[in-house]
């Protein structure tokens, strides 16, 4: 059987092939299935709700609620179809259900409000009742389409609203009597005041005529002065705007100049550092070559010259670094001074912090570069000496003047004493005093005469022996 529901109706189908319940406007009804037609049109429910306020004053709340199934929500329709579709909307069952919900929520809400709050806030009271009743009706799939709460009515024996109306009427009558008396008094007083004001106005007009003539003359002068003042103020404002524009331009120029100067200083410093690195590398290579060349001739002289070259290179690098740092420091201070004149002290502190960070960073980079250069220098010496660590150590001791410092310390230690001094000669008995016609080899011989006792002293104090290519220490027996 094929069934079709009316516009305001729905079909609720259950049975074979349907898991729970099926809602449709039209459908085939097969054997083993049951179909119920329920109406969706809303119904008006009229109630006389008896409630009691917080002061325990009873009253009657006439209300008319238009309630029906919620058609815009499928879940609500299913609830209504399951719970209420089998009952007629006008049946006692549905009427008692709706009335019980409305009366219960209205009484609970009225018990929490005073009579004055209910009377004065009828609109808010109606909204509260509407929301709370709707919350309860949701579980049945019902919707309040309209709710009309009528005027509150007294319960017989408790005429609160009638007494309240009488009170309002009496207050209005008394106020009317007071208003009539005040109007009569104002009329009599006003007549007397008019007569006095007529005489006063005549005298005042004569006086004001003379005053106005004088005021007109003064106002003319004041207007002239006011115009001059406004012209001067306008000129000052224009000058202030020009000065402000010049200040903004000066700030921008200072910022651009500062950025350009910092870039120039950074570029110059980078070039100076690279030149110093290259110059140091060249000087190290020259010193190494010169040392190798003069090692066989004048070891002491080569050491002194090498040390001098290294110190000069370091001194040149140090001077260039300090000069660059001085230029950078000077430029930064100038930039800070210009910025301090145009901006707040915060910018000055920020620039000073950035300058300090940049100086620390460059100082750290210099230390890293110096450490790398020293490492390369030691590796080059060690490779040149064939990986002989002892020879490298002896060379560094000679190069750093360690033997000279030891000799000086020994001399200071025995100063004022009578030590035993050994004099080495070449066995010819001739003294190298320069009185004869000596040759250049005598100078070399004098250098070699000084080495044995020096090495012996170093051996006694440090336990270190001279290199094999320089000979051995004399035996004690000899």
Per-residue model confidence as pLDDT tens digits over 4-23? 888 878 888 888 888 888 88
Which 3-state string (H, E, C) describes 210-275? HHHHHHHHHHHHHHHHHHHHHHHHHHHHHHHHHHHHHHHHHHHHHHHHHHHHHHHHHHHHHHHHHH
* CB 71 within 8 Å of CB 164: no
**C-alpha span between 287 and 35 (Å, rounded):** 114
Q: Which residues contact 237 (CB under 8 A, 6 or more apart)?
A: none
pLDDT at 447: 66
User: Percentage of the chain surpassing pLDDT 90?
Assistant: 0
436: confidence class by pLDDT, cuts 50, 70, 90: very low
- Report the DSSP beta bridge partners of residue 64: 46, 148
Cα–Cα distance for residue pair 216/412, rounded to 1 Å: 110
Residue 65 in this model has a pLDDT that exceeds 50: yes
Q: Measuring CA to CA, which residue among 260, 300, 287 is closest to residue 470?
A: 300
Q: Is pLDDT at 51 greater than 80 in this prediction?
A: no
Mean pLDDT of 229-242: 85
pLDDT tier at 467, thresholds 50, 70, 90:
low
Q: What is the pLDDT of residue 269?
A: 83
Question: From the CA atom positions of the chain, what is the Rg in Å?
Answer: 59
Q: What would the two tokens of residue 343 be?
A: 């901006």
Stronger pLDDT, 433 or 137, i.e. the higher one: 137
Could you tell me the pLDDT band of residue 435, with boundaries at 50, 70 and 90?
Answer: very low
- pTM of the entire predicted model: 0.33
The mean pLDDT value for 365-394 works out to 83
**Between the ranges 77-91, 135-149, 151-165, 174-188, where is the mean pLDDT highest?**
135-149
pLDDT tens column, 378-387: 888 888 888 8
Question: Hey, is 36 helix, strand or coil?
Answer: strand
Confidence at residue 429, expressed as pLDDT on a 0 to 100 scale: 46
Position 124 scores a pLDDT of 72
* Per-residue pLDDT at 477: 45
Residue 119's pLDDT band, with cuts at 50, 70 and 90, is low
The pLDDT value given to residue 163: 58
Helix (H) or strand (E) holding 15: strand 9-15
**Confidence band of 420 (pLDDT split at 50, 70, 90):** low
pLDDT category of residue 418 using cuts at 50, 70 and 90: low
Of 355, 344, 200, the residue nearest 262 (C-alpha): 355
- Assign residue 42 a region: left if phi > 0, alpha if psi is -120 to 50, beta otherwise? beta
- Is pLDDT at 85 greater than 80 in this prediction? no
Measured distance CA(228)–CA(149) in Å, rounded: 72
DSSP code string of 45-93: EEEEEEEE-TT--EEEEEEEEEEEE-TT-HHHHHHHHHHTTTS-TTSHH
**Closest Cα to residue 453, out of 413, 403, 393?**
403
User: Are 59 and 45 spatial neighbours (Cβ–Cβ below 8 Å)?
Assistant: no
pLDDT at 286 over 50: yes
Range picked from 251-255, 435-439, 455-459 for highest mean pLDDT: 251-255
Residue 434 has pLDDT above 50, yes or no: no
Q: Which two tokens stand for residue 319?
A: 């001077």
- The angle formed by the CA atoms of residues 259, 261 and 267, to the nearest 5 degrees, is 105
Nearest to 125 by CA among 137, 139, 142, 108: 108
Angle between helices 299-342 and 160-294 (to 10 degrees): 150
DSSP state of 155: B
142: tokens are 């019902």
Mean pLDDT, the chain, rounded, equals: 76
Residue 432: band (very low, low, confident or very high) from pLDDT cuts 50, 70, 90? very low
Maximum mean pLDDT: which of 53-67, 244-258, 388-402: 244-258
- 150 has a pLDDT exceeding 60: yes
The partner residues of 142 in beta bridges, in order of sequence, read 69
DSSP 157: T
User: Where does the pLDDT of residue 431 fall: very low under 50, low under 70, confident under 90, or very high at 90 and above?
Assistant: very low
pLDDT at 440 over 60: no
């Amino acid at each position: 059987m094929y069934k079709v529901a009316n516009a305001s109706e729905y079909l609720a189908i259950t049975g074979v092939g349907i898991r729970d319940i099926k809602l449709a406007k039209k459908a085939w009804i097969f054997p083993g299935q049951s179909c119920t037609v329920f109406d969706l049109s809303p119904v008006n429910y009229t109630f006389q709700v008896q409630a009691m306020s917080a002061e325990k004053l009873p009253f009657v709340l006439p209300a008319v609620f238009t309630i029906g199934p919620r058609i815009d929500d499928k879940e609500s329709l299913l609830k209504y179809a399951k719970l209420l579709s089998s009952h007629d909307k006008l049946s006692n069952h549905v009427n008692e259900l709706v009335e019980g919900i409305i009366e219960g929520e209205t009484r609970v809400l009225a018990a929490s409000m005073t009579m004055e709050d209910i009377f004065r806030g009828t609109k808010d009271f109606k909204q509260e009742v509407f929301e709370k009743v709707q919350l309860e009706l949701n579980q049945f799939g019902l919707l309040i389409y309209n709710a009309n709460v009528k005027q509150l009515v007294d319960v017989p024996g408790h005429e609160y609203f009638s007494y309240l109306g009488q009170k309002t009427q009496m207050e209005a009558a008394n106020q009317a009597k007071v208003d009539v008396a005040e109007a009569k008094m104002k009329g009599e007083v006003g007549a007397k005041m008019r007569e006095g004001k007529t005489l006063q106005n005549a005298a005042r007009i004569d006086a004001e005529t003379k005053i106005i003539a004088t005021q007109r003359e003064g106002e003319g002068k004041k207007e002239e002065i006011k115009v001059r003042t406004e012209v001067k103020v306008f000129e000052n404002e224009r000058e202030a705007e020009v000065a402000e524009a010049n200040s903004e331009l000066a700030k921008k120029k200072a910022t651009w100049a500062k950025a350009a100067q910092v870039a120039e200083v950074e570029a110059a410093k980078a070039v100076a550092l690279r030149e110093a690195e290259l110059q140091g590398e060249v000087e190290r290579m020259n010193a190494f070559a010169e040392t190798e060349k003069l090692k066989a001739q004048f070891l002491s002289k080569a050491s002194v010259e090498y040390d001098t070259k290294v110190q000069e290179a370091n001194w040149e690098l140090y001077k260039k670094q300090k000069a660059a740092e001085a230029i950078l420091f000077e430029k930064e201070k100038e930039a800070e001074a210009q910025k301090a004149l145009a901006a707040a002290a915060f910018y000055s502190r920020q620039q000073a912090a950035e300058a300090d960070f940049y100086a620390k960073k460059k100082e750290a980079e210099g230390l890293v570069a110096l450490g790398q250069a020293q490492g390369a220098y030691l590796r080059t010496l060690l490779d040149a000496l064939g990986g002989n660590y002892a020879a490298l150590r002896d060379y560094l001791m000679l190069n750093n003047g360690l033997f000279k410092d030891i000799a000086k310390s020994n001399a200071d230690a025995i100063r004022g004493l009578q030590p035993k001094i050994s004099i080495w000669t070449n066995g010819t008995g001739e003294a190298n005093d320069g009185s004869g016609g000596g040759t250049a080899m005598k100078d070399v011989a004098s250098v070699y005469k000084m080495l044995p006792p020096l090495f012996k002293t170093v051996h006694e104090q440090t336990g270190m022996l001279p290199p094999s290519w320089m000979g051995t220490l004399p035996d004690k027996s000899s």
